[in-house]
Amino acid sequence: MIATCPVGSVPPAWIRQCRPGAVIVAPWGPEYGGEATVRLTVRPDGSACGRFVHSSAFMRLRAQRSTRPASSLAHLDGPWPADGVRSTTALSPDELGDWTAMFAIGVRVPAVFPLTERYPDGSYTLWLHDTAVTSWATADREPGRAGFEVVQSGPRRLWDEVESAWRWWDGLGRPGFDRFELTVSPGGEHTVRLA
């Protein structure tokens, strides 16, 4: 079976329709971004497992698209930075935009997505939102600066989660897509691990 739209989850029905040994090839990606093509082999126990083989970029299946705020400022309560807590980081937001980095971050940090707000002088703000719309974070990128201002709000500290995931991936030597493996259980649970 070959799917041509990226999915955030492989429907269990796809696996049930296949005999053991069948191969399912699909573009798969976490909410954060950085989709890749996975090659799953159906197992006798009704699960499927396989490695990612290369990057891909397709529009998600309509049923698997998340609802996102209409604006980066959509859930601020009051004037900027509202109840946001300020800090700084040495990690440039530029580092988080690599397709493989986005994939690695996404498999470690569920239900989070980035938005970028660009300005005429070449600076930009990276916004992080959770899909529950309870938390947000920003990181400001200004040309020539080595430190970057971060603001976070909500029950999740999204910048801290994303930075931790990036540092995990970087600390492992920045493994490519082909080092990751996806397992889908008969019940539809998805597990991505570094193989």
Which CATH number is associated with domain 65-171? Answer: 3.30.160
Other beta carbons less than 10 A from residue 4's beta carbon: 11
Residue 142: what pLDDT?
86
Residue 68: what pLDDT?
57
Residue 59: what pLDDT?
54
Place of tokens 């995931």: 165
Ordered by start, the domain boundaries in the chain are 12-63+175-194, 65-171
Residue 91: what pLDDT?
95
Q: Which of 43, 38, 50, 40 is nearest to 6 (CA)?
A: 38
Residues (pLDDT < 70) of the chain are: 1-7, 57-80
Read off the pTM.
Answer: 0.85
